[in-house]
Amino acid sequence: MAKLKTKFVCQDCGYESAKWLGKCPGCHNWNTFVEEIEMTGKQTRHTFSGVTTAGSKPQKITEIVSQKEPRITTKSKELNRVLGGGIVAGSLVLIGGDPGIGKSTLLLQVSSQLAEKELPVLYISGEESIRQTKLRADRLGVKSDLLYILSETNLLAIANHIEQLKPSFVVIDSIQTIYREEIASAPGSVSQVRECTSELMRIAKTSGVPIFIVGHVTKDGAIAGPRLLEHMVDAVLYFEGERHHTYRILRGVKNRFGSTNEMGIFEMKEEGLREVMNPSEIFLEERSQGAAGSTVVASMEGTRPVLVEIQALISPTSFGNPRRMATGVDHNRVPLLMAVLEKRVGLMLQNQDAYIKVAGGVKLDEPAIDLAIAVSIASSFRDIPTRPDDIFIGEVGLTGEIRRVSRIEQRVQEAAKLGFSRVFCPENNLDGWTPPADIQVVGVKCIQDALNIGLVR
């Protein structure tokens, strides 16, 4: 008989301890340790009966024949873009997002699209009954005969259903509700999530069936469970957006079969999620004309250029320490750029509150947005608006220089397509390409040059 042994496991990072600790030594979070039962000795492990146990031997890399991974394309071009061109056979994809953001809706729509292509799909819901899933399917207009719904949380039963049905696509909603009988821990614990994900990964690789699993998120927005969960899967997608707004952003942060940091835009409608083919128009449609503190930047999201408005509000402070707040950009970048403006340009910003926001709920993290942030801060401080058809692109150094950025051609072409007439970019980016005829490209060396040309009444 196997002996029972208790241990304490951090539910955030998976750190194990023989006794309860108030603060985790691994992730330094408080009150995250939960007691779990560990079985020692000989254990009986239930495995998927279709596993092949043929031995493998090392091969020379020059003798391995490379081939393109077969993909299953869906009707959603935005999802295909984020996945790198479609769903790869035998892949394990993890989707995380806030409660009610639309994860189940997206996967049910994708399942319906694949079933309409005469591909059997198995949708496994561990949180809802079959009738609840049917109500959502009726609202979305899902009526395919090849879409099978299963309400089950036992991993062994799920593996048997996959083996018998042999579907072309499987959805697990969600991984925190699935459990293995031989593990004494509660569903959703670190041990259960780790073991169930490992078993699902083995099922996907041995059977060639792509599996999408839904993961809960913590209050900080990260996927709940050990960080190992994100390392095990082939792709990690985050479904972002405000619950009180209609637009949703599907962002890829890991992809073994395509580009990382790709972004897909969806709009939540009564009949489900609808694709947004031109997100730049959506982000700029409510922009105020002639308002000080507003600039537009062309940011690269994976392989797609997106035009986004950056807003800044500079006002005198009423306290000893001025406030620095940022939404959509790194909050540490704002005081850095304000220090550059104060030292290199001469703007007295040390007694000013600064509020920076990226309109539309997008999160930008590339250095090419530095120039747009700096110009918007100077525009609000001087109360001088920029031209509505100007775009600012460039990385700002600590000495005030404007450094080159990547993929300047795609950024300028996207600006020209939406009717902008002038682009400010680093002077070192002007060589080696020809800009479109209907747009003026202005090369600047330092932040002072951009302000002298861009902030003129």
Residues 254 and 355 in one domain: no
Candidates 317, 315, 296, 318; CA nearest to 307 is 296
* Model confidence at 241: pLDDT above 90: no
101 marked among binding-site residues: yes
**CATH classification of the domain holding 108:** 3.40.50.300
Residues 212 and 231 in one domain: yes
Residues 304 and 411 in one domain: yes
The predicted model scores a pTM of: 0.77
Residues 239 and 336 in one domain: no
* Model confidence at 46: pLDDT above 60: no
The answer to whether position 403 is within a domain reads: yes
The answer to whether position 65 is within a domain reads: no
98 marked among binding-site residues: yes
Residue 256 belongs to domain spanning: 73-277
Residues 23 and 106 in one domain: no
Q: Is 68 exposed, middle or buried (0-12, 13-18, 19+ CB in 10 A)?
A: exposed
Residues 181 and 228 in one domain: yes
The answer to whether position 411 is within a domain reads: yes
The answer to whether position 66 is within a domain reads: no
Domain boundary among 277, 299, 326: 277
Residues 288 and 236 in one domain: no
234 marked among binding-site residues: no
Residues 364 and 386 in one domain: yes
The answer to whether position 273 is within a domain reads: yes
Alpha-carbon gap, residue 440 to 170, rounded angstroms: 50
- Residue 395 identity: E
Contact 174, 146 (CB under 8 A): no
Residues 122 and 107 in one domain: yes
Burial track 214-244 (b if 16+ CB lie within 10 A, e otherwise)? bbbbeeeeebbbbeebbeebbbbbbbbbeee
* Model confidence at 52: pLDDT above 80: no
Range name among 113-117, 142-146, 224-228, 329-333 with the lowest pLDDT average: 224-228
* Model confidence at 219: pLDDT above 70: no
pLDDT band at 244 (very low <50, low <70, confident <90, very high): low
Domain boundary among 252, 277, 302: 277
104 marked among binding-site residues: yes
99 marked among binding-site residues: yes
Name every residue whose Cβ is closer than 8 Å to that of residue 363 and which is 6 or more positions away in sequence: 240, 328, 329
103 marked among binding-site residues: yes
Q: Convert the pLDDT of each residue in 99-126 to its tens digit.
A: 888 899 999 999 999 999 999 999 999 9
Alpha-carbon gap, residue 176 to 174, rounded angstroms: 5
Instruction: Indicate the number of domains in the chain.
Output: 3
Contact 411, 298 (CB under 8 A): yes
102 marked among binding-site residues: yes
Cα 213 versus chain centre, distance: 15
Q: How wide is the angle at C-alpha 245 spanned by C-alphas 262 and 292, nearest 5°?
A: 85
215 marked among binding-site residues: no
The answer to whether position 59 is within a domain reads: no
Average pLDDT in the 163-177 region?
A: 93
Contact 325, 355 (CB under 8 A): yes
Q: Convert the pLDDT of each residue in 351-408 to its tens digit.
A: 999 999 998 778 898 999 999 999 999 999 999 999 999 999 999 999 999 999 999 9
For residue 26, what are its two tokens? 């691994």
Q: Is the peptide bond before 379 cis (omega within 30 degrees of 0)?
A: no
DSSP letter string over 8-41? Answer: EEETTT--EESS--SB-TTT--BS-EEEEEEEES
**CATH classification of the domain holding 438:** 3.30.230.10
Name every residue whose Cβ is closer than 8 Å to that of residue 65 and which is 6 or more positions away in sequence: none
Contact 195, 184 (CB under 8 A): no
Residues 402 and 372 in one domain: yes
